[in-house]
Each structure stands twice: as C-alpha cells, then as structure tokens.
Amino acid sequence: MSSPSSSSRSVGRVVDGVRTVEGAGFVVRRPFPTPALDQFDPFLLLDEMGPAELGPGEAKGAPDHPHRGFETVTYMLDGRLEHRDSRGHAGKLGPGDVQWMTAGAGVVHSEMPEESFARSGGRMHGFQLWVNLPRRDKMMPPRYQELPAARIPVARTADGAVTVTVIAGESLGARAVIDTRTPILYLHFRLAPAARIAQPVPRDFRVFAYVVSGEAALGQEKRVVAGGQMALLEDDGDVVSIAAAPGSPLSLLLIGGVPLREPIARYGPFVMNTRAEIAQAMDDYRSGRMGRIQS
Ligand code: FE2
C-alpha cells in the first residue's frame, strides 16, 4: 500500500539497447550488459528477442551451452521456443508463456525455435532476463518453473486503460505465482494512450523500466523514454509513476529486486563470486560434470 506520504522515484540514467547477435545468429536488443552499463544488481542481462517477422527456416536459436550461478527468465510474446537440458528436462514456450530456470550448480541446455515454427516462420518476440543468485544459492540443484500464459496473473484498472501481467511480485492486487530466491518484481504493463499508473515498489528494491514500444513519461520528472531504452530509477521513493504518451499505446517492463551487494566474477555463461569459482565452473563443464544433452 502506498501511504499518503508516498513519493515518486526519479529517473537516473537512461541507456539505449544495443543490437547484438546471439546464439546461432539471432538478433537481440540488449540494454545491458553493454559498455555503458555492466549490470544492475541483482540483474545481469536483459535481451529483447525481435520483434522480427521471420521467413520459413529463418528462426535461429541457441544450441547447447552451459549456465551456472544465476537464473534465466524467458518470457515470450510471439513465436515458439523449445528447450532441452542435460538433466533430461524438455519444454516448450509459446506466446505469453514464462520459463524461470534456476541454473544453480549447472545445466547444459539448448533454446531453439520449435520445429514447426522454424519451418513455417512467423513473428518472434520475447525477452530473457538473467537474475543473479546470492552466494548461498549459486550451487543449488537446478530447478524449473514453467508457466503457461493462462496461469500468469493479469490485472486491469477499472477503466481498462492499464493492464499488467504479473510475472514476479504484485501489482493492482494480483500476486505472481512464481517463487523467487530473493525478492523480485517483474511486471509487464500495457497502457492505452495517455493512461497512467503509480506502481508501489519497496524502498530497498533497485528498479528499472524497459520500454518495449510506444513512449513513456517516467518518474517524478516525467522523463520521456522511448522504445528500446532502459531507465534506471533512483532509490528515492516508494512509487514508480508511469504514463503513456497521448499518441500511442505503451508496452513497458518494470523490473526490480533487492541488490545482493556481493562480488561478481563473470565469464560468459558462468556468474560466480570469485575467479577460482569460475575456473572450477569451466573445469566442471569441460570435463562433462554439468552433463550433456542426450539426443
Ligand atoms: Fe541459455
């Protein structure tokens, strides 16, 4: 609940997403990590896949690769992905679905377009967020939370001008079904032109907004933030004010969490606390101790 004394956070930096090629050659828009922004504790990466209209056979994925020490959260808006891992786990993601994978001690997995989708082509659009794990959880057994769109809470304002998909945390009275290792907020807002919303955020959360499409007026100062830009909010209030520009609808991700404030040793798909732990992860991967995908 926001009290009468609640105050709106202001916007600090705004960074542009950078076009990057990932996996077997799919293009992502990446607000971080980039030379401008290394990480946003407790978050390590955000990629927007597409949106792209893909022709038959054009969809690309990320073939077998390992992860250790953090979580990958995949949220699809359009298109279909197929997932397989070294522990025999397999799953599919379609429009609106979320997969929250806690890699923990390690998995080797592949994230590929579903075969029929790759064959026919179509619109591909989605997000992958990397959430760091605290030292105590880095070597936990891997776990999956797979949520079809129908199980993800969606709430609307009474006038229907604001819709929010609650992937983690709470908004407009709806509470997420995902269980997170540390407190996380992951909301997808859709606002009608000129609509506005004030989202409460706990004081100890670091929060950012990523504009997917449209134009937002954000924070206390109503800073204009365009599609493909990420706004880092200051820790100076307990509400984030979001408004859509009058001319177009707004799609925006609001993501936050309690910073871990632990040392980060990072090498590609491994994120640990020390260089020695990275060396151990590489050794475990190379010697097959993270397993292999059985075909
Ligand atoms: Fe991956």
How many other CB atoms sit within 10 Å of the CB of residue 156? 13
Beta bridge partners of 66: 108
Radius of gyration of the CA atoms of the chain, in A: 19
Ligand 1 centroid from CA 162, angstroms: 32
pTM of the model: 0.96
Ligand 1 centroid from CA 67, angstroms: 7
Q: What does the pLDDT look like over 17-60, one tens digit per residue? A: 999 988 888 889 999 999 999 999 999 999 999 999 999 999 99
Ligand 1 centroid from CA 198, angstroms: 34
Ligand 1 centroid from CA 98, angstroms: 14
Query: What dihedral angle (degrees, nearest 10) is formed by the CA atoms of 220, 223, 228, 232?
Result: -40
Tokens of 97: 């679905």
What was the pLDDT predicted at 27?
A: 85
In the predicted model, what is the mean pLDDT of the chain? 95
What was the pLDDT predicted at 26?
A: 80
What was the pLDDT predicted at 251?
A: 98
Q: Cα 134–138–144 angle (5° rounding)? A: 105
Find the mean pLDDT for residues 72-99.
Answer: 95
In the predicted structure, residue 1 carries a pLDDT above the cut 60? no
Q: What does the pLDDT look like over 280-294, one tens digit per residue? A: 999 999 999 998 877
Tokens of 158: 């009474």
Ligand 1 centroid from CA 244, angstroms: 33
Ligand 1 centroid from CA 51, angstroms: 19
d(CA 269, CA 10): 33
Tokens of 91: 């799953």
Q: Is the peptide bond before 200 cis (omega within 30 degrees of 0)?
A: no
CA dihedral for 137, 83, 229, 267, sign (positive or negative): positive
Ligand 1 centroid from CA 166, angstroms: 23
Ligand 1 centroid from CA 248, angstroms: 34
Ligand 1 centroid from CA 110, angstroms: 7
